Chains A and B, each alone.
Chain A
Amino acid sequence: MLFPFRHTGVPPRVVVTGAGIITALGSDWKQNALGFRSGRVATRPVTLFDASRQRVKVAAELDLPPLPQTRLSDQHLARMDRAARMLLVAADQAWKQSGWEPSEHLPIVLGTTSGGMSLGEAYFRQATQSPHNHQHQAKRVVHYQAQQQALNVCEAFGFHGPITIIANACASGANAIGHAFELIRRGEAERVLAGGYDAISQLVFGGFDSLQALSPTQCRPFDAHRDGLALGEGAAVLTLEPLESASRRNATILGEVVGYGAATDAHHLTQPHPNGDAALASMSAACASAQLSPDQIGYINAHGTGTPLNDSAEAAAINRWAGANAAQIQVSSTKSSIGHLLGAAGSVEAVVCLMALQEQWLPPTSTLQTPEPACAFPLVKQPTDARIEYALTNSFGFGGANATLILRRWN
């Protein structure tokens, strides 16, 4: 039964036993860790569609690696779009690393903003340009939908859900991991595969360009002269399970999820409240969930899109949340390297935090030149080694969806 819920005792500690990641920096943990640690910038001219008439013509596109061998047939793989393929690559890494076996009940929680949008675009073009040509249209309808992309993952590894897909705009990936964390804490699941994914599509690129949210120069989060974001694409997937289960299996533990918070900013559809009220509420809720105070957080992977409004609101929120401790908390935005991954951002940035915690370094905002004076906290500009126990990651989305995760180093 989904409801009523199973009775639970003491909430278990939730650990990460597998992590898969694919971004424009690379298609696995190692390549991404190298890239994030050095602050490499991965934007390049857009090749996925004709961007010649766009105001901005660059994005952090990735090179798709060969698809992994799974239970999916070649025919099935051929029908999958770019977003579904990224998701499969990340899920395969996480699955293999976790050492999990297929099972009947294994929830999957995913975040995405646009699922298989490129298939939706292709469907529309064909339906309007050659309406009597039906070739591939039915397949596009099926594989466009986010639930099919989740079903692909279930089928690839032989497990059977249930599937939950959260579409809270750019907070979706963080919400997905947070929701998975809560499912395990409350005893509603023994294991959960969770993450986020999004591919660059013409509609979404055109949308951000129409809003003049894309940087015509370079994405420089928290820079006093920042002028917009860069779009990116990718996926990250985590395997989450109770500590007891991981220990019993002698699984390698990559880190611990200790807190999750979410709040809604009702100020504007596309702009945060200037004081960062909902961001503050989200960070505070995550800290309450983790039973931590701000002075215990060593690093924040900020939402830090590089837009004037986001970064000033987030800076205000961090200043208010940290108070007198702000000067002790290192902050950076890795969107300077890989762009904004929308529904994948929260999950990718959670993996970046795991990397930083495990390997004890801080990823720089390498494009930062002149720090925004409103920041009462130090911004990481150069590759830096550090000793950190807890990392916090923020994700804020269109529509006012705000989510915060807190992760802990595993010794």
Chain B
Amino acid sequence: MSATQEIFVCGKGVVSPAGWGLDAFRNALQNGQPLTTKALPRPGWEKPLCVRQTPPPATRPAFIAHARLRRTSPIAQYVVAAALEALGPDAQLLQKGFRLGIVYCAMSGCVNYSRRFYDEVLKDPSTASPLVFPETVFNSPASHLAALLGTTSINYTIVGDPGTFLQGLALAADWLLQERVDGCLVVGAEEMDWLTSDAARRFLRSIVVSDGAGALYLKRDRESFSATGVKLEAITDPQLFHHHCPRSEAARRARAELQTFMGQNELLVDGLLDVASADRDELNAWSDWNQSRLSPKRILGEGFMAAAAWQCVAAVDAVEQKFDAANVSVVGCNQQAIAARFIRKSIS
């Protein structure tokens, strides 16, 4: 790889069913036990849905006082909290002309307000709330984040299945290498709603849907070494599911593309759920993996785009702590399989 294509992870942030912040996330993963579930009522059904929902924050985050964030849906709050944690002290740089890009990734987006607003429209469109509608737009969390930080640099919201988060990392790397931005936040998030959980159960009856966000903060300058010492080494081509390439084959291709990099003292952060039908393709693709393995979704639940972000945060954290490299495998729901690799700076 060219020395000019070096991208470093300079920060990470998490909101998850384990709580707000990296510490709670780490503790949950170290504990290794699936978090307790809660009941989520579903209209028209006596039996509630079983979910893992992000708990309220222990203390009210200061950012909620910002004019743009007072009425926002949970997903926007998750995005902002994870992004601020990832950005850390670099938030101060924005006042000095630092160009911060934002890539926000979602699969379902602002479902709470979309459901609520459409319900209002059906009941009486003349009283549907004009305050709620703008929050239903896919890019509203990214817009709120930009407003809070005061950044006017390029800002994309990209949607798709969970593999999209890894595409988002590549997009951020591209902007950094083109020098369009000096730093870039990549955030993946979802929010809990009975509608999403109801929809997911149509494909996997035992699924436990969860919500939250994960963020990585990328830069290209060498000063970034001091922050975490973790480098983004590779992202495979997205392997689309289609007639000639079923999900199983796409997973195998993504794994094969990463194969050439493999060494010792490595971790695989996979997307296994402990649901046989959902896990089969990914298990088969990585069947020969004989090193350490971490499956955040077994503990936190199926957070879709947030879960892909959690996998990447967990991989970066693991490289910082003890591994030479960590590989992330995302075998998505209905679009693509893709994988990424993070390495410790000393082995580059």
Contacts and interface: CB of A to CB of B under 8 A. Distances in A.
B147 interface: yes
A130 B117 CA distance: 20
Interface in A135-168: 137-138, 141-142, 145-148, 151, 154-155, 160-168
B125 A53 contact: yes
B329 interface: no
B125 A123 contact: no
A407 interface: no
B334 interface: yes
Contact of B234 (A3, A7, A263): A3
Interface stretch (A59-67, A207-215, A218-226, A323-331): A207-215
Interface string A1-30: 111110100000000000000000000000
A266 B146 contact: yes
A276 interface: no
B334 A145 contact: yes
B347 interface: no
B234 A162 contact: no
B71 to A, nearest CB: 10
A125 interface: yes
Contact of A281 (B1, B43, B152): B152
Contacts of B203: 138, 141
A251 B119 CA distance: 50
A397 interface: yes
A155 B109 CA distance: 26
A278 B134 CA distance: 19
Interface string B164-199: 101101100110011000000000000000010011
A340 B137 CA distance: 16
A370 interface: no
A148 B334 contact: yes
Contacts, number: 224
B154 A399 contact: no
A127 B43 contact: yes
Interface in A118-134: 120-121, 123-125, 127-128, 130-132, 134
A377 B122 CA distance: 43
Given A3-B173, A124-B195, A266 B167 contact: no
A54 interface: yes
B28 to A, nearest CB: 29
Contacts of A113: 137-138
Contacts of B198: 127
For A54, A115, A128, A265, the residue with the greatest tally of chain B CB atoms inside 10 Å of its CB is: A128
For A148, A151, A269, the residue with the greatest tally of chain B CB atoms inside 10 Å of its CB is: A269
Interface string B127-161: 01110011111111011101100111111111111
Contacts of A264: 102, 143, 146, 151-155
B103 to A, nearest CB: 10
A167 B2 contact: no
B143 A125 contact: no
A30 to B, nearest CB: 33
B96 interface: no
A34 B133 CA distance: 36
Contacts of A296: none
Interface string B318-342: 0000000000000000111010000
Given A1-B235, A210-B128, A266-B147, A125 B122 contact: yes
Interface string B21-59: 000000000000000000000111100000000000000
Interface string A90-133: 00000000000000010000000101000011011101101110
A283 interface: no
B232 interface: yes
Interface string A318-351: 0000000000000000000000000000000000
A163 B336 contact: yes
Interface residues of A, number: 73
A151 B126 contact: no
Contact of A203 (B109, B121, B124, B243): B121
Contact of B236 (A2, A128, A145, A163): A2
A155 B334 CA distance: 14
A169 interface: yes
A202 B195 CA distance: 18
A398 B143 contact: yes
B17 to A, nearest CB: 23
B125 A398 contact: no
Contacts of A267: 147
B157 A265 contact: no
B238 A162 contact: yes
B237 interface: yes
A131 B42 contact: yes
A400 interface: yes
A207 B117 contact: yes
Contacts of B238: 2, 161-163
Contacts of B225: none
B114 interface: yes
A318 B152 CA distance: 18
Given A5-B174, A124-B115, A164-B167, A141 B199 contact: yes
Contacts of A209: 125, 128
Contacts of B173: 3, 5
A178 B210 CA distance: 35
A79 interface: no
A216 interface: no
A4 B174 contact: no
Given A3-B235, A148-B334, A128 B169 contact: no
A405 interface: no
Nearest to A50: B125
Given A163-B335, A175-B156, A211-B130, A203 B235 contact: no
B202 interface: yes
Contacts of A128: 43-44, 119
A146 B137 contact: no
A80 interface: no
Contacts of B146: 264, 266, 400
A165 B158 contact: yes
Contacts of A203: 114, 117-118, 121, 136
22 contacts: A2-B338, A3-B7, A3-B173, A7-B2, A53-B125, A123-B199, A124-B115, A128-B43, A154-B242, A160-B244, A162-B167, A162-B237, A166-B157, A166-B158, A186-B174, A202-B122, A262-B154, A269-B68, A398-B139, A399-B139, A400-B147, A401-B155
Interface of A: 1-5, 7, 53-55, 105, 113, 115, 120-121, 123-125, 127-128, 130-132, 134, 137-138, 141-142, 145-148, 151, 154-155, 160-169, 175, 182, 186, 188, 202-203, 206-212, 262-267, 269-270, 277-278, 281, 397-401
Q: Which 6 A-B pairs have the closest CB atoms?
A: A131-B44, A399-B143, A207-B133, A206-B121, A167-B138, A162-B238
